[in-house]
Amino acid sequence: MDQTSLANLIWDVADLLRGDFRRSDYGRIILPFTLLRRLECALEADRDPLIARYHDEFQGTSIDPEIALISSERRFYNLSPFRLATLGETETKANLEAYLSRFSRHARQCFDEFNFLGWIEKLASANLLYLVVQRFQNFDLHPDRISNHDMGRVYEHLIYKFAESANDTAGEFFTPRDVVRLATTLVFAPDHDAFSDGVIRTLYDPCCGTGGFLAEGIAQVLEWNNKAEIHPFGQELNPESHAIAMADMMIQGHDPANIRLGNTLSDDQYPLERFNYCLANPPFGVDWKKVLKEVSAEHERGDKGRFEAGLPRISDGSLLFLMHLLSKRIKGDGGGNSRIGIVLNGSPLFTGGAGSGESEIRRWILEDDLLETIVALPTDLFYNTGIATYVWVLSSHKAPERRGKVQLVNATDGWEPMKKSLGSKRRQISETQIADIARLVADYADNERSKLFDTRAFGYRRITVERPLQLAFSPHDADKRAALAADKAWDKLGQPRRLALLDGLESLAEPRHLDREPFFKAVGSALKTQGQDSLSAPEKKLLQKHIGEHDPLAAYCKTKGEIEPNPDLRDYENVPLGEDVYAYFEREVRPHVPDAWIDTAKRDERDGQVGVVGYEINFNRYFYRYTPPRPLETIDAELRAVEAEIQALLDEVAE
């Protein structure tokens, strides 16, 4: 039976729950029961001998069975005589609770994170517990019959159905396995040392969900080198997803203590560890407002923290996960290499201008030469979104030929349609297509689908271009005077002063003044004839705001002999890194606006040069292909055909 059919069969247990439970609760019952049956089947081979050994050697002693019975070959156990098949019909609840209590600590933790005892109580109250147990005892989930990889897919299908019934987003908890396979291939393949006998590697996922990246990564390394030893580590925020991931690692013989529960951004549970491989698919576009305090404090730690480079906008924490992964890289010559793969949407490529948190993060990654490859994926690959996504591959020690370079690969055409869509997932990447993409990356060539760039090619200096403030004043304009009278600051002047100012404006003979200073002097003189003080600075500001307007024929406004810039005409130019900003200005700006100038006070904080440095990776620009518009004759013919079709339908209705 394939994974989808098995998952559907398991989910059919929901038929028993209808009426007594809400649809949104089905998964909270079906998932832990599935997990229980999987653990029970995995223990089948040596469970009875283990119980006998416990009774013969350790029962009645002070020896902790967790110490005595847990080993690298056996990461969990159950010392109860019960099975799902032997719980009985009359004492089902008590016997099931006793059964669960005799699991080893980490296995019990899995069920605690599902609040399984609470759901058992509700099932018993509805007289459904024994019926559900009967159904699950018949599922054969033994690892010899269904592999860990296939069981992972079963969990994914169940979670998808759970999310669908709860109107939730399944994609937050797992990554489609085709995307996982591609990412692991891109990360692992260049590590030629991993194919040696007895090699040991560590693998880390900071938002591991149900453990898909970890399970696939382990399987892939062992597929290529069955003598390798790989140790998985992970952290997950959602308790139910964490429980599945932890159980999966236990069944595979890995230490479940290395799969930890908590928020990675605010509570890093591996502060000192560094890893050979890091893989992640952080949630797209999720804000980090809830952990603002902790993340900001980490940023303030500078190079001792994880977020030294900068902080992205609070609405999207994707780049925080990327910086977190880079903080886990192995540093220093001779200390080994770390390879990182992370799945991101398009926002981290270009969001944020020069000097922003996002740009500074990209700058740090590129100037430290950590980015190796970015692969653009097809759309419609994920369960909860059809947006464009990208796999970033990073390395702490790039191969010599890749140093100072970044490879961009366009794999948006590398997909095939799914036989049946799952939410927004309508496409998948086949094994052949994964191999094709991996070859594109490995070939490291410049062609239509693969482009090579210097790291500085994505950088620029944003210079501030100023133009002179030129104001004309129209003291008799009724609309402008009405706007002046509507300003709250105008009311604060007091009625006598307001009347004097209006009289002063009215007394000016010229309907339009093209020089600010003579205009202000004229108004001041008019005020003095009324026995009033001359114009104050706030009054000048009010008149400039409402009576003045830009006029290219007006005189330049100056302060202390310096021409004032017009903030409304301020503009910015992005000058490619390595090009002289003044030469660029003279060539690209000066011919169009001869009186413009560069604001040399706007300098980069890090290098002190004119212009703020920014980095962005405009992926589409590099792979853009011009498609000429269709001939007008063709479009006209299609429109006439549609009109004729509509008319025919209308004629049918009229008849």
HEC assignment per residue over 244-288:
HHHHHHHHCCCCHHHEEECCCCCCCCCCCCCCCEEEECCCCCCCC
- Between 645 and 654, the more confident residue is 645
Q: How confident is the model at residue 235 (pLDDT cuts 50, 70, 90)?
A: very high
- Per the prediction, the chain carries an average pLDDT of 92
Q: Give the pLDDT confidence of 105-125 residue by residue, as tens digits.
A: 999 999 999 999 999 999 999
Q: Average of pLDDT values for 176-204?
A: 90
pLDDT of residue 168: 58
DSSP codes, 307-374: -TT----TT--HHHHHHHHHHTS--STTS---EEEEEEESHHHH-S-TTSHHHHHHHHHHHTT-EEEE
Please tell me the number of Cα atoms within 13 Å of 308 on its side-chain side: 11
pLDDT at 655 exceeding the cut of 80 = no
Mean pLDDT of 478-501: 94
| pLDDT of 56 higher than 90 | no
Place of tokens 């692991």: 184
Reduced to 3 states, what is the DSSP secondary structure of residue 549?
A: strand
3-state SS class at 397: coil
What's the CA gap between 545 and 64, in Å, rounded? 81
Model confidence pLDDT, tens digit, residues 364-410: 999 999 999 999 999 999 887 888 999 999 999 999 999 999 999 99
- For 295-326, what is each residue's pLDDT tens digit? 999 999 999 999 999 999 999 999 999 999 99
In this predicted model, what pLDDT tens digit does every residue of 560-618 receive, in sequence order? Answer: 999 999 999 999 999 999 999 999 999 999 999 999 999 999 999 999 999 999 999 99
Q: 190 by DSSP, 3-state: which?
A: coil
> Please, which residues bridge with residue 125 across strands?
none
Strand (E) positions, 22-94?
none
Question: How far is it, in rounded angstroms, from Cα 245 to Cα 38?
Answer: 13
Confidence category of residue 161, pLDDT binned at 50, 70, 90: confident
pLDDT of residue 279: 96
Q: What average pLDDT does this structure show over 89-102?
A: 96
Pick the CATH number of 170-461 from 3.40.50.1980, 3.40.50.150, 3.40.50.2020, 3.40.50.2300: 3.40.50.150
% residues pLDDT > 90 (the chain): 78
**Residue 627 pLDDT:** 82
Does residue 166 register a pLDDT over 80?
no
Q: Are 202 and 328 in contact (CB under 8 A)?
A: no
Spatial CB neighbours of 165, under 8 Å, sequence gap ≥ 6: 14, 23, 24, 26, 27
Give per-residue burial for 172-206: e unless 16+ CB within 10 Å, then b. Answer: bbbbbbbbbbbbbbbbbbbbeebeeeebebbbbbb
Buried b (16+ CB within 10 A) or exposed e, 540-565: bebbbebbbeeeeebbebeeeeebbb
pTM given for the model: 0.87
Instruction: Work out the pLDDT band at 169, boundaries 50, 70, 90.
Output: low
- Average pLDDT over every residue of 351-357: 95
Give the model's confidence band at 440: pLDDT under 50 very low, under 70 low, under 90 confident, else very high.
Answer: very high
Q: 428 CB contacts (<8 Å, ≥6 apart)?
A: 176, 178, 381, 415, 416, 417, 418
Percent over 70 (pLDDT), the chain: 98
Residue 172: the pLDDT is 55
Amino acid 585: pLDDT: 97
Query: What distance in Å separates the CA atoms of residue 232 and residue 217, rounded to the nearest whole number?
Result: 9
> Mean pLDDT, to the nearest integer, of 491-500?
92
Per the structure block, which two tokens stand in for 495? 């009625």
Cβ atoms of 564 and 545 within 8 Å: the answer is: no
**pLDDT for position 332:** 64
Region 83-101: what's the mean pLDDT? 96
Mean pLDDT computed over 184-212: 90
Q: Tell me which residue of 35, 18, 2 sits closest to 136, measured CA to CA.
A: 35
Contact 188, 221 (CB under 8 A): yes
Sign of the torsion angle spanned by Cα atoms 480, 483, 485, 491: negative
| φ, ψ at 409 (rounded to 5°) | -125, 130
Write out pLDDT tens, residues 259-268.
999 999 999 9
**263 closest CA partner among 300, 231, 292, 291:** 291
The CA distance from 367 to 151, in Å, is 42
Domain ranges of the chain: 3-165, 170-461, 471-563
Burial class (CB in 10 A: 0-12, 13-18, 19+), 131: middle
Please tell me the predicted confidence (pLDDT) of residue 173: 56
What do you get for the CA distance between the two ends of the chain, in Å? 55
State the amino acid at position 537 in one-letter form: A
Alpha helices in 166-238 (DSSP H): 177-188, 212-224
Q: What integer pLDDT is reported at residue 62 of this predicted model?
A: 84
Helix (H) or strand (E) segment spanning residue 395: strand 389-395
Beta bridge partners of 260: 235
d(CA 76, CA 251): 8
Query: Residue 336, Cα to own-chain centre: how many angstroms?
Result: 28
What pLDDT does residue 500 have? 94
The reported pLDDT for the residue numbered 196 is 83
Nearest-angstrom CA–CA distance, 630 and 49: 76
What is the distance between the alpha carbons of residues 209 and 53, in angstroms, rounded to a whole number? Answer: 36
φ/ψ region of 232 (left if φ > 0, alpha if ψ in -120 to 50, else beta) reads beta
The DSSP symbol for 383 reads S
- CA separation for the pair 78, 83 (Å, rounded): 10
Which is it for the CA torsion 535, 536, 540, 542, positive or negative? negative
